[in-house]
Amino acid sequence: MTDNIPGAGGGIVFINGRRVVKAFRSCVCRAVEGGGVYDLSCGIDGVADGGHTLLYFEKFGFIERADGLRLTLSEDAKETASGAIRAYRARAEEIERGAEKVSFEEIKLAFFIRRLSQTSFDAVMETESGSGAKGIYIFEAVPFSRIIKTVFSEESVRRDGLVSPGFKKRVCAAFSSLAEKTGDSDLLLLTRHYCDCASFEENGAVERLLGHKILPVLPEEFDRTYVVDADESFRPLLEDSNYVLSRVMILSPDHAFYEKYKDDFIHLTRSRWALNPHTRSGSDAAEKDGPSMPFSEYLKLFEKADKKV
């Protein structure tokens, strides 16, 4: 492997001063971004991926990495990329044929979903940008929480990080209608839970369905940020409890943008999370220095709150 900016050799040749990919070692389409742009995961001899996504601009015949590296594709490489895109589109069409559609016209988004098992779904999300570019994104064997939270995320992008109560009600109505149409009582229960409209009596059924307890909203006296020793193993509990967790960018030293952005995150660690039990918000990284509490102590806050009720 070469460094992040490759020279000739491996899968790269120079033609008329341009770096050209002779052939891909591997190529998989990860998403159709719309407007002739595709998210690819490719292996190229002589190029270190550096943790970057490769965007393929089909009309112009080149791929571009997040750090600005641009490579022109040979005809053979273009055909490989086209084959990967055709396979991705075919898989999306196969899922859609056996799926039910739920649309959200106000954000130009539609989900085609089908139940795969008691706990997971296959789905396809179709989006349309302001310019009319249509995106296609496949979700395979994911929990329902991933689908409904993606809808909320698409709304929050358009509203500066906010999800309006009115939109939540429309999402609840749309997925509840689908659940009633298909006779899927579990989907109805999960929809009500993730849209914050489940009754107290329904919470116990939700916990049995998810296989773990749900953390309730704590009163205003707990409205503060707690720095907690945590890791990814706690994410399902928090997200199933309807926490909104910001993903903090922490780059590895070999990332092309490490030096440029390191001052933004060098003081943070992923082994500590910042959590607020009243607003159900937080982030998956916190300050390295200073006091913190074990996650078990964080859970005791809910026991204390119960005793006060």
In angstroms, rounded to a whole number, what is the distance separating the alpha carbons of residues 254 and 102? 42
Domain boundary among the residues 159, 192, 210 is at 210
Domain boundary among the residues 170, 191, 210 is at 210
- Please choose, from the candidates 109, 97, 115, 117, the residue with its C-alpha nearest in 3D space to the C-alpha of residue 178: 115
| Residue 185 near residue 162, CB atoms below 8 Å | no
- Residue 234's φ and ψ, nearest 5 degrees, are -90, -10
pLDDT tier, 308 (very low <50, low <70, confident <90, very high otherwise): low
pLDDT reported for residue 52: 57
Q: Does 6 reside within a domain?
A: no
State whether 72 and 125 are in the same domain.
Answer: no
Question: What are the tens digits of pLDDT across the range 208-260?
Answer: 999 999 999 999 999 999 999 999 999 999 999 999 898 888 877 777 777 88
Q: Does 1 reside within a domain?
A: no
Domain boundary among the residues 63, 89, 115 is at 89
State whether 258 and 200 are in the same domain.
Answer: no
- Please choose, from the candidates 280, 272, 233, the residue with its C-alpha nearest in 3D space to the C-alpha of residue 250: 272
State whether 242 and 200 are in the same domain.
Answer: no
State whether 107 and 205 are in the same domain.
Answer: yes
State whether 57 and 113 are in the same domain.
Answer: no
pLDDT reported for residue 131: 86
Q: Does 215 reside within a domain?
A: no
State whether 119 and 169 are in the same domain.
Answer: yes
State whether 227 and 297 are in the same domain.
Answer: yes
Question: What are the tens digits of pLDDT across the range 48-71?
Answer: 654 557 999 999 999 998 777 899
In angstroms, rounded to a whole number, what is the distance separating the alpha carbons of residues 24 and 43? 6
Q: Does 179 reside within a domain?
A: yes
Residues 141-158: what's their mean pLDDT?
89
Question: ∠ at Cα 272 (268, 277), nearest 5°?
Answer: 120
State whether 109 and 79 are in the same domain.
Answer: no
In angstroms, rounded to a whole number, what is the distance separating the alpha carbons of residues 10 and 47? 8
In angstroms, rounded to a whole number, what is the distance separating the alpha carbons of residues 285 and 277? 16
Total domain count for the chain? Answer: 3
State whether 199 and 244 are in the same domain.
Answer: no
pLDDT reported for residue 158: 67
State whether 150 and 238 are in the same domain.
Answer: no
| Residue 145 near residue 128, CB atoms below 8 Å | no
User: In which domain, by residue range, is 151 found?
Assistant: 98-210
Kindly give the pairing relationship between strand 268-269 and strand 109-115: unpaired
Q: Does 60 reside within a domain?
A: yes
Q: Does 2 reside within a domain?
A: no
